[in-house]
């Protein structure tokens, strides 16, 4: 049995929202979406696998009409597969969820020339954190006014590039940046900036990805007075124009409530700025961090659910403070990209002993450091071979010289899994290739886009020749 194509999937408690936007391509993944008829248990969770994923003969899985086994054979492994239509559909879902807001894609999740084009065509802005990401966007002609520049420690090159390209807003993350940035603004117009504030809210899937609480490297504290000091200093800089406040609570936030709490605190602070300095800031950026499902059953509210709660609280908070509704910005990255990606590996060895099974693959922490960094967990499925063997609890490990090089713990794989088998890891579109390293000189994997039965390379495989050209010391 295969999943039923074209059947939308609606998240519990969400209402369909009409899409007023013209779609440059057919939108196969309307959001909110109802559950499709499941093909196999792993494919029953559309937020783990792309909506186009269906079972295929011989134990295979096809995504966007393309066999995963054929992709592994054609491009080699490890390889990352990205469903273009899924990416576009999720971008549209965010625009539908907050039609009056600016939706800015967080490029740190994964960025390439093609992704820059997709975001431009879908009407999203772009959030960048370095001169390199800025330059990449510039090579594609992405509108600079729709770019937001982030970073807790922006280098002089980052700031020079942002000013040269004319980015829309630069987010001030420390007192040190204020005078440094103002001194570099040479044009007749002031540079628009925002202040990243710490609202003092604990939210996120792991302590290493919680960025809205007190006592860490990002932002300026509202409670401690640092944020207000920065606001006052910026208002005294004629070359800087303060347009609003920015905040980012963290990542993998599986409930809209922390965002509602954040709205209340930041709007109250904006009202205080108005009362003390006579300035009504017109923009509020709530950042990103919206959760996706990595395992079937993981909580992952639809964009519409986040959007309704944020809008409701924004209206309420502004009414209580007699503050005009600011223009809202959100910065989804993972929630657009992660569910569209699948990592494919080939099994190199299988070790059985001491009641455990270790399946080693030809990738690892060099292409996906998230499990080693903060215990991320994944769904894993064997593709390309049917098996009648019973399922066995297995640990999938990488090929690198680290005991912590574990890709997935306690996953169910056929007991007869063997070298040469292909393993597919869904929800791999974000923070894998973008965080990949050159550890052991294995070379970073390629990224392949699939759409309407075809595939094409977005990023080629990194080779030893690439390393050799960089190593110029003799």
DSSP 57-93: GGGEEEETTEEHHHHHHHH-SSEEEEEHHHHHHHHHH
Q: Count the Cβ atoms, other than its own, within 10 Å of residue 213.
A: 18
Establish whether 334 is an annotated binding residue. yes
CA angle (346, 351, 357) in 5-degree steps: 90
Establish whether 276 is an annotated binding residue. no
Contact 53, 329 (CB under 8 A): no
Strand order in the sheet with 54-56: 54-56, 60-63, 66-67
Contact 30, 8 (CB under 8 A): yes
Establish whether 331 is an annotated binding residue. yes
Smallest CA-to-CA distance from 217 within 261, 174, 180 is with 174
List, in sequence order, every beta strand (DSSP E) within 420-461.
422-426, 447-451, 454-459
Measured between alpha carbons, how far is 381 from 68 in angstroms, rounded to an integer? 11
CA quadruple 55, 45, 444, 130: dihedral sign: positive
Element of type H or E holding 195: strand 191-198
In the set 129, 176, 318, 401, the catalytic residue is: 401
Contact 393, 414 (CB under 8 A): no
Establish whether 431 is an annotated binding residue. yes
> Half-sphere exposure of 17 toward its Cβ, with a 13 Å CA cutoff?
22
Q: Which long-range contacts (CB under 8 A, 24 or more apart) does 454-460 make?
A: 454/65, 454/66, 455/66, 455/71, 455/74, 455/75, 455/81, 457/75, 458/82, 458/112, 458/113, 458/114, 458/115, 459/112, 459/433
Establish whether 294 is an annotated binding residue. no
Report DSSP state, residue 462: P
Known catalytic residue: 318?
Answer: no
What are the start-end ranges of the H helices in 332-383?
334-337, 370-374
Residue 359's φ and ψ, nearest 5 degrees, are: -110, 115
Establish whether 439 is an annotated binding residue. no
Contact 101, 329 (CB under 8 A): yes
Measured between alpha carbons, how far is 270 from 94 in angstroms, rounded to an integer? 25
Establish whether 460 is an annotated binding residue. no
Cis peptide before 32 (omega within 30 of 0): yes
Measured between alpha carbons, how far is 40 from 324 in angstroms, rounded to an integer? 50
Annotated binding residues for substrate, written as ranges, equal 334, 370, 374, 402, 431
The residues annotated as belonging to the active site are 401
Annotated binding residues, written as ranges, equal 289, 331-334, 370, 374, 402, 431
Annotated binding residues for pyridoxal 5'-phosphate, written as ranges, equal 289, 331-334, 431
């Amino acid at each position: 049995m295969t999943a039923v194509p074209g059947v939308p999937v609606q998240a519990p408690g969400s209402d369909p929202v009409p899409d007023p936007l013209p779609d440059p391509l057919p939108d196969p993944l309307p959001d909110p979406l109802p559950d499709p008829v499941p093909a196999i248990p792993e494919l029953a969770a559309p937020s783990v696998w792309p909506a186009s994923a269906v079972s295929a003969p011989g134990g295979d899985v096809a995504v966007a009409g393309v066999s995963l086994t054929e992709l592994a054979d054609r491009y080699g492994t490890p390889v990352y597969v990205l469903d273009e239509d899924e990416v576009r559909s999720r971008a549209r879902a965010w625009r539908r969820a907050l039609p009056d807001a600016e939706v800015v894609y967080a490029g740190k999740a994964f960025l390439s020339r093609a992704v820059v084009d997709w975001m431009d065509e879908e009407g999203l802005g772009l959030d960048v954190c370095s001169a390199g990401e800025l330059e990449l966007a510039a090579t594609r002609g992405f509108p600079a006014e729709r770019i937001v520049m982030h970073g807790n420690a922006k280098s002089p090159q980052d700031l020079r590039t942002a000013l040269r390209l004319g980015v829309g807003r630069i987010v001030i993350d420390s007192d040190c940046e204020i005078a440094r940035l103002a001194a570099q603004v040479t044009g007749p117009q002031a540079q628009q900036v925002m202040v990243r504030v710490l609202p003092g809210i604990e939210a996120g899937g792991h302590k290493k990805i919680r960025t809205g609480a007190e006592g860490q490297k990002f932002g300026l504290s509202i409670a401690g007075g640092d944020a207000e000091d920065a606001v006052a200093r910026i208002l005294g800089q004629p070359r800087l124009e303060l347009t609003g406040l920015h905040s980012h609570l963290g990542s993998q936030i599986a409930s809209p409530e922390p965002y509602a709490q954040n709205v209340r605190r930041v709007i109250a602070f904006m009202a205080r700025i108005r009362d003390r300095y006579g300035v009504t800031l017109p923009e509020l950026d709530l950042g990103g961090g919206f959760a996706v499902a990595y395992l079937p059953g993981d909580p992952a509210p639809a964009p519409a659910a986040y959007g309704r709660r944020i809008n409701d609280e924004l209206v309420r908070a502004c009414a209580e403070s007699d503050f005009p509704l600011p223009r809202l910005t959100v910065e989804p990255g993972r929630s657009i990209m992660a569910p569209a990606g699948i990592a494919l590996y080939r099994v190199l060895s299988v070790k059985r002993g001491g009641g455990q099974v270790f399946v080693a693959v030809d990738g690892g922490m060099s292409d996906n450091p998230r499990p080693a960094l903060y215990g991320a967990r994944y769904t894993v499925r064997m593709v390309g071979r049917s098996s009648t063997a019973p399922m066995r609890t297995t640990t999938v490990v990488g090929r690198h010289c680290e005991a912590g090089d574990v890709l997935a713990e306690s996953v169910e794989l056929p007991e007869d899994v063997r070298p040469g088998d292909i393993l597919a890891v869904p929800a791999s579109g974000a923070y894998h290739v973008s965080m990949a390293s050159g550890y052991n000189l294995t070379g970073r994997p390629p990224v392949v886009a699939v759409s309407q039965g075809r595939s094409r390379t977005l990023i080629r495989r990194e080779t030893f020749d690439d390393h050799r050209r960089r190593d110029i010391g003799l």
